[in-house]
Structure 1
Amino acid sequence: MENFVEASSQQQVEDFLKVAGRLLTVVHFYAPWAPQCTQMNDVMEELAKEHPQVTFVKLEAEAVPEVSEKYEISSVPTFLFFKRGERVDRLDGAHAPELTKKVQRLASSDAVPAGAKEHPQADLNERLKRLINAASCMVFMKGSPQEPRCGFSRQLVQILNDHGIQFSSFDILSDEEVRQGLKTYSNWPTYPQVYVNGELVGGLDIIKELVESKELTNTFPTAVTLEHRLKALINRTPVILFMKGNKEGAKCGFSRQILEILNSTGVDYDTFDILLDDEVRQGLKTYSNWPTYPQLYVKGELIGGLDIVKELKESGELQSVLKGES
């Protein structure tokens, strides 16, 4: 079903919102271990049959923590409703009747008159250009990197992963207009299609040739290592706390206590919820040689956990440490 799809990255979510244009897009933040989420996915599948003009997107909340953080997803299932790329409504919890009601109301208020052309060719070309340039390396394929839906797409993903190539993807089965339009736009009749810095590289055969000639890694951007990612996160703001939960709601007693102490200082700080990203959660322990959470960093340097922060508060040094003065 082409209007019932799964996203596996922030870029894919953004792409679906752009592609949906003025139509309604419903994003379900779910967890595979939660039976209520499975039930609501079944409800979404039925709604997708009833509303072919609406795009229904499944997104595993813990697999894409940056998206969950952006939209303040603290529990599953949660549904967000978008029009023209803007969020217009939200539903928390497994409430099938309420979900059905919201979809019917929002979809009916955005119906396209019969015979009306929703996207003239100029608009389609602009959309295609935006999608192609959405990442340094864009792959237009059947399915997702996690679940390719044709042998050629599966082979391509395997090659890119084996060579550490960082890429975003778009499922052409989710949008027939893009699927057909891109063939004409790029004068390339088959899929998958690979683009680097907005330029078409080609399909699977071309990628295989680049592998054989040892030119592949020179053509593509390489993946960001975990170490580089951790460095970037640690230096994202002058003061950052890696914790269970976030500023709005701690999910363990130690994190709650350290939030209270930091809030009492009046110093601005950011948080990162390690429960939403197991790679960061495990990697940071090794990177900083600090086995527990929370962990507080100032200007890229580890200060410590709750006990250290308590000691700094009692000695009167916390304020100056947070300001990077000592």
Structure 2
Amino acid sequence: MSVLNKLDKLENFQKFLEENANALVVLFFAANWSDESKLMNNVLQELSKDERNKNVLRVLEVEAEDFEEISIKYGIEAVPTFVLIKNKQVVSKLSGADPAELRKRISQGLQTSTSSTAQKPEDLNDRLKRLVNQAPVVLFMKGTPQEPRCGFSRTTIEILKNNNVTFSYFDILSDNEVREGLKKYSNWPTYPQLYIKGDLIGGLDILKELVASGEFQSMIPSKDDSLNEKLRKIINTSKVMLFMKGRKDEPKCGFSRQIIEILNETGAKYESFDILTDDEVRQGLKEYSNWPTFPQLYVDGELVGGLDIVKELKQSGELETTLKGNQ
């Protein structure tokens, strides 16, 4: 029988965080079709059963595809991913099935003093910058979209929904540091505050004016824009990036296995993304690069090609130079 908590309703998410504010909270973003998620579920079960962790560790399993708002808020791009939260702040984030590293991160989180420390202004600014850029459209509001806690926030939510806007949100009542810091960061003294692509649009009155003038619709990033931004971010995770079936230490098709062997022979540093863990990336990347098959290899954000191209580059002696890119 599972000892992990599993999120059943969106409105229960914030409640879980508030009720366990004094513990180390592990948000476990998973998918029921993912074998790696099942593996890591067993690891977390084991850690949760440990009597030493009974009162200091709380795990919440979140079905990533069912709770898109939460996944966007925490920048989830693959499953499994683990977000560790302490004192209402993200202290660590880990993607992939790595039991040893997860145990290490949790152990470090549990050993850290629970007493809060004053944050340097530049650290707060870095955090605010990350928050306003967590999604193409971000709303800082009082409460949640399901339970807004002021009339201005409620009206803003209605306008966004009426205009079919996909957005992330942050409840400023849950974090006074963000609430006060954002006023100075954006030189805007009231809430709600709406950001598009990291730039402040304004509050409710500005939003109403933009909708009335017909300008707002042209400002909303399309779904394709949002996906392309996500793809660009993943592609540029590493100078050399390989999209494949499986991971570089565990390829799940013959083509991926062959390209891994070739890349390993060069000694080049590279990262990989398992397209089996994210169908949106898998399908979107085909159109983004106009390349219908996998694996796909990128250097400096540009598509090199698939296995056949890499083989040709190896045979011609150009592969190592290609992998060095612009340096």
Q: Fold-level match, TM-score > 0.5?
A: yes
Please say if residues 128 and 178 of structure 1, whose CA atoms lie closer than 8 Å, have aligned partners that are also in contact.
no
- Partners of 1:315 and 1:199 lie apart in 2 by 51
- Partners of 1:194 and 1:56 lie apart in 2 by 31
- Paired amino acid for 1:265: T
CA gap of 1:80–1:283, structure 2 versus 1, over 3 A, is same
Alpha-carbon distance, 1:168 to partner: 4.6
CA gap of 1:225–1:200, structure 2 versus 1, over 3 A, is closer
Q: Residues 258-289 of structure 1: CA distance to partner in whole angstroms, max 9, x if unpaired? A: 11210101233333332343322102223334
- Paired amino acid for 2:284: G
- Partners of 1:104 and 1:298 lie apart in 2 by 35
Alpha-carbon distance, 1:4 to partner: 1.7
- Paired amino acid for 1:263: N
Unaligned runs of 5+ in 2: 1-11, 49-53, 149-153
- Paired amino acid for 2:30: A
Please say if residues 79 and 92 of structure 1, whose CA atoms lie closer than 8 Å, have aligned partners that are also in contact.
no
CA gap of 1:198–1:57, structure 2 versus 1, over 3 A, is farther
- Partners of 2:178 and 2:169 lie apart in 1 by 13
The CA RMSD over aligned residues, in Å, is: 5.4
- Paired amino acid for 2:240: V
Q: Match for residue 141 of structure 1?
A: 141
Alpha-carbon distance, 1:135 to partner: 1.9
CA gap of 1:133–1:278, structure 2 versus 1, over 3 A, is closer
CA gap of 1:140–1:200, structure 2 versus 1, over 3 A, is same
For 1:33, what is the secondary structure of its paired residue? coil
CA gap of 1:180–1:314, structure 2 versus 1, over 3 A, is closer
Please say if residues 24 and 106 of structure 1, whose CA atoms lie closer than 8 Å, have aligned partners that are also in contact.
no
For 1:4, what is the secondary structure of its paired residue? helix
CA gap of 1:33–1:267, structure 2 versus 1, over 3 A, is closer
Q: With CA pairs under 8 Å and 6+ residues apart, which has the higher RCO, 1 or 2?
A: 1
For 1:262, what is the secondary structure of its paired residue? helix
- Superposed counterparts of 1:166-205, under 5 Å: 168-172=168-172, 175=174, 177=176, 188=190, 192-194=192-194, 201-203=202-204
- Partners of 1:279 and 1:61 lie apart in 2 by 13
Alpha-carbon distance, 1:28 to partner: 1.7
The answer to whether residue 3 in structure 2 is matched with residue 4 in structure 1 is no
Q: Match for residue 319 of structure 1?
A: 320
For 1:254, what is the secondary structure of its paired residue? helix
Larger radius of gyration: 1
- Partners of 1:141 and 1:56 lie apart in 2 by 26
CA gap of 1:25–1:251, structure 2 versus 1, over 3 A, is farther
| Count of residue pairs brought into register by the alignment | 272
Q: Match for residue 155 of structure 2?
A: 152
- Partners of 2:125 and 2:304 lie apart in 1 by 47
- Superposed counterparts of 1:277-316, under 5 Å: 277-298=278-299, 301-314=302-315, 316=317
Please say if residues 132 and 138 of structure 1, whose CA atoms lie closer than 8 Å, have aligned partners that are also in contact.
no
Unaligned runs of 5+ in 1: 7-19, 45-49, 113-117
Please say if residues 244 and 255 of structure 1, whose CA atoms lie closer than 8 Å, have aligned partners that are also in contact.
yes
Between the two proteins, what is the percent identity of the paired residues?
Answer: 41
CA gap of 1:266–1:29, structure 2 versus 1, over 3 A, is same
For 1:194, what is the secondary structure of its paired residue? strand
- Partners of 1:268 and 1:104 lie apart in 2 by 29
Please say if residues 82 and 89 of structure 1, whose CA atoms lie closer than 8 Å, have aligned partners that are also in contact.
no
TM-score (norm 1): 0.56
Q: Match for residue 210 of structure 2?
A: 210
